[in-house]
Amino acid sequence: MPRIPGFKSETQRERFFEGAKPYVRGGPLARICGAKLRTGGVCTQLALAGEKRCLRHGGPDAARRYRERQKAGLENGSVTPEEWARAEARRARNALMWAWRKDPRLPGRTIDLGPDEAAFAAAAAELGVDVDGLYPAVADWLRWRWRRHQKDRPDAARWRKAVREELPRQRAAADEAVAWADLGITDRRTKAARAARAALRAGDVERAQAAVDALRAASSTAMGADLRRGREAHGGPLTPLPARPWTPRPASDGWKRRLPDRQKAPKPQPMPPRPVGRPRRVPDRPDELAALGEVLRAAGPQVRAMYEAVSRNEDRVKFLRDLADYVNAPDDAGAQRRWLWWVQALR
């Protein structure tokens, strides 16, 4: 029976892949990256070996450790030279693409057409594009479009659209990046970058350069004045506030460490526990009962008949109180609601 590479038998291979299914991407036990995305979800890419994040969200430190592990694997034989070469080429391509974002004039390529370079230049020349006159970043972008639309999957319409519609946008973005690089601005959040952006929108590169030079000259002048002011101070205090020199306190018996401990205040007595349950009902006062009786006599015979229909004494007192509230404040919504309840209950 032929030997399966990496396995002792076909049965072992089948068992291995069957047991690995829960750990692959999408499985319930997969070690996903879990980084928060702008869409509100999380990254479902598999985390790198020995890392918590994937290759995209791991950051430069994780990428450096991943390369060191790959290099160690190349030395011990677990990583083939072909895998190492592909990984190095991918890293070099990413570094070049990142550098092109700041300056598209840097030399380099991420694709090599080989013998098809002449065919690519001829196809671009037919549409009026001189490849040698493009920035390296733009020419590299156009090579990828030619390979995709002319060699891999021939599509003349897509190729003409890429040259006539997409290429002008790429060249405009490259010209803007070149202008920022010539101004020497790497951080576009500074004050000089804001002044240069306003001038570049008007299409005046010379005015942008003059604004940046003026801001830099003012900044260097202010910094030089601060340095001269510091030198003239001859090592004075860093703050203009008056500073009182320190002097040792004379020995005396008034130091806190030599005084006896102060007597602490006695702890307050705990409050008695409150009774659990409903509070005790306050008995009705005679004057209050007399006032309720006057309200009942002034109400009329129909209300007195309703009062006689109430059986319990507690309910009668509540009936009189609701009646008094309604008589004293007939516009009160609460009093109206309580009195209507009595009317409907005793109808």
Which residue blocks in the chain are alpha helix, DSSP H?
Answer: 10-20, 59-76, 81-100, 117-126, 136-146, 156-161, 167-183, 191-201, 205-232, 286-299, 301-309, 313-328, 333-345
Distances (CA, A) of 244 to 108, 207, 241: 64, 52, 10
Residue 75: predicted pLDDT: 92
Query: Which of the 8 DSSP states describes residue 174?
Result: H
Residue 318: predicted pLDDT: 86
Q: Considering the domain boundaries, does residue 314 fall inside one?
A: yes
Which structure tokens are listed for 327?
Answer: 């008589």
Please state, in angstroms and rounded to a whole number, the distance separating the CA atoms of residues 15 and 298.
97
Residue 180: predicted pLDDT: 75
Q: How many helices (H) and strands (E) does the chain have?
A: 13, 0
Answer yes or no: are the C-beta atoms of 7 and 13 closer than 8 Å: yes
Q: Please name which of 152, 169, 153 lies closest in space to residue 161, comparing C-alpha atoms.
A: 169
Q: Considering the domain boundaries, does residue 32 fall inside one?
A: no
Q: Backbone phi, then psi, for 32, in 5-degree steps?
A: -80, 165
Residue 299: predicted pLDDT: 83
Report the number of distinct structural domains present in the chain: 1
Q: Considering the domain boundaries, does residue 132 fall inside one?
A: no
Low-confidence stretches of the chain (pLDDT < 70) are 1-5, 200, 202-208, 211-212, 215-259, 272-284
Domain that holds residue 326: 296-345
pLDDT digits (tens, 9 = 90+) for 206-240: 666 776 677 666 665 544 555 455 445 444 444 44
Dihedral angle computed from the Cα positions of residues 91, 93, 98 and 102, in that order, rounded to the nearest 10 degrees? 140
For the entire predicted model, the pTM comes to: 0.49
Residue 140: predicted pLDDT: 92
Q: Considering the domain boundaries, does residue 195 fall inside one?
A: no
Residue 267: predicted pLDDT: 80
Q: Considering the domain boundaries, does residue 196 fall inside one?
A: no
Q: Considering the domain boundaries, does residue 21 fall inside one?
A: no
Which structure tokens are listed for 181?
Answer: 């690089």
Q: Considering the domain boundaries, does residue 148 fall inside one?
A: no
Residue 1: predicted pLDDT: 42
Q: How far apart are the first and last CA of the chain?
A: 100
Q: Considering the domain boundaries, does residue 326 fall inside one?
A: yes
